[in-house]
Chains A and B, each alone.
Chain A
Amino acid sequence: MDPKQLTIEQVQEVLLKEKYVCDRSLATVVYLSLVMGKPLLLEGEAGVGKTEIAKVLSKVLGAKLIRLQCYEGLDANTALYEWNYPKQMLRIKLEEVEHGDKAKVETEIFSEEYLIKRPLLEAIQTDGATPPVLLIDEIDRADMEFEAFLLEVLSDFQITIPELGTVSAKHRPYVFLTSNRTREIHDALKRRCLYHWIEYPTFEKEYEIITTKFPEVEAKMAQQICAFMQKVREMNFYKRPGVAETLDWASALIALNRKNLDDKSVVETMGCVFKYREDLHHLREQVENRQLNLDALLRVSPELVS
C-alpha cells in the first residue's frame, strides 16, 4: 500500500483493521510522518501501545519491520555494521595454504560478503519496492553518544563504510522512535522528529480496544474492566497499569470463562494488572477499607456514549 495515497481517515481505518485503535490526532501525526518522510518520536507511559503502532504499520504497509532495541552502551558496531572477523580470518588462512594472491585477498575480504549488517544499515540498504519500517525502541535507554550518531543517520539516511564507500537509502525508511522518558532526549534529535505523546485511553477508547481485540467478550464485562482501569489509574499506585495490562486481564478473564466481574474475581486475577507486591497490597487495603468501592464501581459502570 502506498502511504502517499492515504488520507487520515484511511490511516485510522487500516490500523483498525489490524486491531489497533487510534484517535484522530495520533492518526494525523502518523499520516504526516509517512507522507513527509519525517521520523516520529512517540512518548508515553509504559504499555500504551508505542511499539505496537510501528509493528501494526509495517503489517499494513506490507513493509519489513526492522527493530533496534536500545540499551546503554549500544554502539555503532551493534547498530550499523561489523566485519565478520572469523570469516575473514578463515579466508586468509585458506589463501595462505593455497598460496593465493595477496592483493586480491585484501580487497575481497572487505567486500559485502564479509559484512554483517546491523539494523540501521539494513534499513537503509533495503532494495524492495516498499521501504522498511525502522523501529528504534526505547531510545532513552541508549546514551548520548548514540543519540548524536543517530542524528547523522536520520538526517541524511546514509552511512559511510570506509572500505566500501557510502551507502545511501534508495527509499527512506519510515522511522519510529519510542521513549519511556527515563531521561530527556536531546533537542537536536527531537527537532528532526515529529512528536506525539500517547495518553492513557479514555473509557470509550479503552472499551473499543477491548472489544476490537476480543470480539467474544461480554459487553457488560468489558465496561466493568474499563471502569476499573480508569479508576485505578487515578489512584496512587507505584506502577499504573497500561493498555497492555488491560488486554492481559481481559484475556485472562475470558480464559476463565467469566461473564461478569465481582469482588472475588477481581482480587483473584489482580496479578494481571499489578506487578508489584506493594501495589497488590495497596489495592487489597483499599478494597478492605472501602476506599475503593468495588461493588459500586462494577455495578454502576458508566454507560457508553457510543
Chain B
Amino acid sequence: MDVTPETVASAVSSVASARGKGTLPNVMAFARALKQLGIKVSLSQVLDVSRSVELVDIGARPDFRALLRANLVSQKEDFPVFDMAFDCFWREQTYERMPMETMEIQGTPTESDAPEGGDEEGGLEEAASEAMANENLQLENLDEFAVPTYSPQELMNRKDFSEMGVEESRAIARAIMLIATKIATQISRRKKVGRKGNTVDPRWTMRRSMKYGGEVIELVHRKKRIKKTRVVLLCDVSGSMDCYSRFLIQFMYGLQNELWGVETFVFSTSLSRITHLIRTKDIVNALEKISGSILGWSGGTNIGRSLHTFNRNFAPSMVTNRTVVVIISDGWDRGDVSLLEREMQDLKRRAKKIIWLNPLLASENYEPLCKGMQAALPYLDLFLSVHNVNSLVSLGRTLQKMVA
C-alpha cells in the first residue's frame, strides 16, 4: 500500500478532533487513523486495548507500543505503517500528559465516545446487509448471461475488453463479480455431493445398530472426502496486457472471496503477491492502490524471472499436486527464454494443471509465435482465451470442473 509520512500525518491530523482526555478516546482516535491507513481494526480490539492498558506501565514507550501493536495489528506487513502512525500520533507531549489521565477513564464511562463507536459498528452492519441485499437481487438476474438471445447485454458480453469505455467497463466489472460469485457458490455446493465411499463410519454404524439392539447389521459408509483444489493465479500486468488484467484480477477477486485457497500474484518484471490486498470489500480502490504501488505495472515483461521468484519463494508451500495454476499473459517476453522454459518445467512437476490464458488467442490470425509463448506451450494443460465476458464464463466452468 502506498503510505508515506505525509499520508500518515494527514490521517493523524484528520482524527485530531476525536482526541480527548484520557486513554480511551485517544486509542479510538488512533484506531480510526489506522483504519484510514488501511489497517483493519475492529471495535472489540480497541476495547481489548483499553482493558489491557492498565496492565503495563504506559509510561514505558516500547511496552505501550508492543501493547497497541499486538492488539491492533494482525499481520506483519502492517508493522511499518503502524510504527509510522504510532510515532506520529503518540508524540512526546501528548504522550507524557496521558498517563496521569488514564485512571479517570476507568471510572467514567466516556459518554461521547461509546455511542460513537457503537454507531460505527451499526453503520457498518447496515451497509453490509444493504450490499448483501443488492447482491441477492442481482444474482437472481444472473441467468441472463447464459441465455444466448440478442440483447444489448449480450453484445457487451461479446465485446473485447480492450474496446471498452469507462462506463461500460464499470458495468462489466459488476457483471464479472456476479459471475465469479455464482461460480464459486456452485463449486462449494458440489463439494457436498460425494460418491458412496469405501470406509466404514463407526459413529454412524454404532448409531444405526442401536435399533437392532446393538447388533451390527447395516454398515454405514463415509462419503469420500473430496480433496480440495487450490487455485493460484499469476497475472501479467505489463503494458501490453493493460486493458485485460484489471478485469481478470477482478474475476479472481470474486472467486477468492468465495472460495478457499485462492492465491493471486501479479508480475511484470518482478512478482508480487496481492492476495491480501484484494481481500477487501472495495475492489476498485484496492486496484488503484495496487497499480500505484507495484513496481513495473504497465511496464515490460520478464515472465521467466517472475516464475523463478514464484517457484522459489511461494511454490513450495502453495503448489501441490492439487493446485491449478492459472497464468494470464500474452506471452510477450523480454527475458531469457531458456529460463522461462526451465521454470515452466519446474512448475509443471509440482502443479496438478497449468492453464494459460491469452487474450490474443481470440483473434483469428493469432499464432503463438513469440518465443516466450512457444517455450511455455509444451507444459500447458489448457490454452484458453480470455478477452470478453463469455470467455470468462467458460473459464469459470473449466475451473469448476477441476476444483470440484
Contact = CB atoms under 8 A, between A and B. Distances in A.
Interface residues of B, number: 42
Interface string A49-90: 000000000000000000000000100010000110100110
B388 to A, nearest CB: 32
B203 A32 contact: no
Given A31-B55, A184-B276, A85 B74 contact: no
A38 interface: yes
B75 A25 contact: no
Contact of A106 (B45, B210, B318): B210
Contact of B214 (A24, A31, A96): A96
Interface in B75-115: 75-76, 79
B367 to A, nearest CB: 37
A191 B260 CA distance: 19
Contact of B261 (A31, A92, A183, A190): A183
B66 interface: yes
Interface stretch (A194-202, A244-252, A263-271, A295-303): A194-202
Interface in A102-130: 102, 105-106
Contacts of B312: 238
Contacts of B275: 184
Given A89-B206, A93-B214, A96-B214, A32 B70 contact: yes
Contacts of A73: 225
Contacts of A243: none
Nearest to A140: B317
Nearest to B40: A187
B56 A32 contact: yes
A42 B210 CA distance: 46
Contacts of A29: 66, 70
Given A28-B67, A195-B74, A238-B312, A8 B56 contact: yes
Give the size range of A's interface with the partner.
35 or more
B192 to A, nearest CB: 12
A194 B62 contact: no
Given A25-B66, A73-B225, A89-B206, A195 B55 contact: no
B206 A38 contact: no
A154 to B, nearest CB: 13
Contacts of A187: 40, 74
Contact of B48 (A8, A31, A38, A180): A38
B42 A32 contact: no
B174 interface: no
Given A25-B62, A35-B55, A36-B48, A196 B70 contact: yes
Contacts of B203: 77, 82-83, 85
B213 interface: yes
A191 B63 contact: no
A143 interface: yes
B260 A28 contact: no
Contacts of A184: 75, 275-276, 279
B63 A28 contact: yes
Contacts of B159: none
A195 B75 contact: yes
Contacts of B71: 32, 194
B202 interface: yes
Interface string B48-61: 10011001100000
A24 B79 contact: no
A201 to B, nearest CB: 16
Contacts of A206: none
Contact of B76 (A25, A43, A193, A194): A43
B214 A195 contact: no
A41 to B, nearest CB: 7
Nearest to B312: A238
Nearest to A34: B55
Give me the 10 closest cross-chain CB pairs, A-B, nearest first. Answer: A92-B214, A190-B74, A182-B317, A28-B66, A194-B70, A85-B202, A25-B66, A197-B76, A29-B70, A195-B74
Interface of A: 8, 24-25, 28-29, 31-32, 35-36, 38, 40-41, 43, 73, 77, 82-83, 85, 88-89, 92-93, 95-96, 102, 105-106, 143-144, 180, 182-184, 187, 190-191, 193-197, 238
Given A36-B52, A73-B225, 9 more contacts: A8-B56, A24-B63, A28-B63, A32-B70, A85-B206, A89-B216, A143-B228, A190-B75, A194-B70
9 contacts: A25-B66, A40-B70, A43-B76, A89-B216, A92-B209, A102-B213, A106-B210, A195-B73, A195-B74
